[in-house]
Amino acid sequence: MKFRLIHKKLGVKSTDIFSEFEYPNIIRDIYFVKDIGFLCLCEDSIMLLTQNDFSPVLSIKNPMSICSGLNNSVYVLYNEGIKNIDYSDNYYATDILNYSERDIIFGKLAKTGIHGMSIDAYGNTIGICVSPTHKFYKINKTFIEGEFGNGIPEYSLSSNLSQCSFCNPSGILVYDSDTLFIADTGNGCIRSFGKTHRIISGKPLDQTLNPTKLLIDRKKDILYYLSKNYLRSVSVDGSKEAMLYESDYISSMVLAQNDKIYILETIGQ
């Protein structure tokens, strides 16, 4: 398969190619590490992509999602649990949660397919989005602490988040100690839950949008998300929206330094 990593400076229409390369399997997600390169989640490994090289750094079974950890580390969600990977220490990996040893519930979730996670830096908890069960699960270190959503695949709203309905959600972002942003993919909207519930982008059940992965620029309070063949942005209060990039091949995206967003495209087989 052929892949292309392009980048665009926010506020500028043009794009530039950072790297083009080939790999036999699907790349599920990417993460930017300053002064190192891009960590790519492949079928059975984590690969390091620089402008001139693409090489394995860690074997891991079926990695699905990656996000920021503490200090020089990242969290990687895979089909048997969650690993904390220290990339400053030769990619040393520690199991945070392993379903076969610590939590039977997680094992059941892993078999259905887990799509993404977000770290709450305030309490060091891990938010997990589970699309097939239409729920989110909150993990506190080594155990599941709470559930969000009632598991019914439809749109509904309640003052109690655990009683709300979602349809195939596939993105979650912890904004602060009180607020979650959820890409309610099947319902076609991005929802904010905290002291109040708000629709940040899209209209429930409209299907014009199908938001998936969420990223945030905290300095500017702007969310970035993928929807169908588009990369879009919206302010966290929902007041400003923009379409940033269109392509039939978008696989993932990541924010990097210098106000740049990198877009991974699968351009051929």
Query: For residues 48 and 129, which has the higher predicted lDDT (pLDDT)?
Result: 48
What is the residue type of 88? S
Torsion sign (Cα): 55, 58, 59, 64 = negative
pLDDT the model gives residue 201: 96
pLDDT the model gives residue 214: 94
Inform me whether the pLDDT recorded for 46 exceeds 90.
Answer: yes
Inform me whether the pLDDT recorded for 102 exceeds 60.
Answer: no
Q: Residues 71-92: what's their mean pLDDT?
A: 87
pLDDT the model gives residue 238: 94
Residue 17's Cβ-count burial label (10 Å; 0-12, 13-18, 19+) is exposed
Q: Residues 12-40: what's their mean pLDDT?
A: 90
Set out the domains of the chain in order of their start, with CATH numbers: 2-268 (2.120.10.30)
CA distance 36 to 50: 8
> What confidence tens digit (pLDDT) does each residue in 198-213 have?
999 999 988 899 999 9
> What confidence tens digit (pLDDT) does each residue in 250-264 have?
999 999 877 789 999
Q: Residues 154-168: what's their mean pLDDT?
A: 90
